Amino acid sequence: MKLHKYSDRFYVHPYDKRSDRPNLYYILGDRMAVAVDAGNSWRQVHEFYDALSEEGLSLPSFTVVSHWHWDHTFGLHAIHGTSLSSKKTRDKLLEVAKWRWTIDEMRQREKDGLDIPFCNDNILIEYPDLSEIRVVTTDRIIEEETAIDLGGVELRILPGPSTHTDDALYVYLPAEKALIVEDADCEDFNHGEVYDQDTLRQMISFFESIDYDYHYLGHAERESKEFAINRLKGELK
């Protein structure tokens, strides 16, 4: 799958519904490049990097991890450079690294409320051989808003509220008027596919406070800021 180019500085390797692969974003500076999310396997990482090579683009020096879920992190062991995440993401990955990967263990985790069938069903598609799964944690923790100068491009990493998980990092590109959200504005699928109303209100206010035009998602095409906020306001009770 080829890269999609938003600008000379901003690209995406598109999502694939067949095994729940997310969008992997790429931001190019004069001195270095940054990726957002590590994909669901080494295969997705390799396909992403092959697509970069085809365009003559350098490998990322950093990969920002948006949250802990398998489809955004199980490729971490195969990335180039340094990975960054929230502390909660790092801690959760340390826990997941201890999980055993057999069908019986996976289904037991569903019963225990640690995982959901949708994730496990897609894991079995991406990993016909479960012994290939290798979970590692991230290299560095981001605990507050952090700016990175890539050379001609400023990138800001923003911890913020999320209805999907409690460990979200957002990536904001002021010059592109872009906010990379990945899955952060989705429901909490691990606890009944619901929007926590207090968190939803906080998240809408968070989005409204940022100057951007487009909302870049994990498993769908980008949305305008206005459309995304109106969609979320429609979930308020």
CATH of the domain at 106: 3.60.15.10
193 pLDDT band, cuts 50/70/90, is confident
Share of the chain above pLDDT 90, in %: 97
pLDDT of residue 152: 97
- Structure confidence at residue 136 as a pLDDT band (50, 70, 90): very high
Averaged pLDDT for residues 208-213: 98
Count of structural domains, the chain: 1
Output the pLDDT for position 123.
Answer: 98
- pLDDT confidence band for 131 (50 / 70 / 90): very high
221, two tokens: 């095409």
Q: Which domain holds residue 87?
A: 4-233
Split at pLDDT 50, 70, 90, the class of 149 is very high
CB 164 within 8 A of CB 183: yes
State how far Cα 209 lies from the chain centre. 21
The mean of the pLDDT values for the chain is 97
CB 62 within 8 A of CB 34: yes
Which residues share a beta bridge with 52?
A: none
Checking if the pLDDT of 41 tops 80, the result is yes
What is the per-residue pLDDT across 58-102, written as a single tens digit (0 to 9) for each?
A: 999 999 999 999 999 999 999 999 999 999 999 999 999 999 999
Residue 48 CA to residue 1 CA, distance in Å, equals 8
Per-residue pLDDT, averaged over 165-181, amounts to: 98
Residues near 192 by beta carbon (within 8 Å), at least 6 away in sequence: none
pTM, two decimal places: 0.97
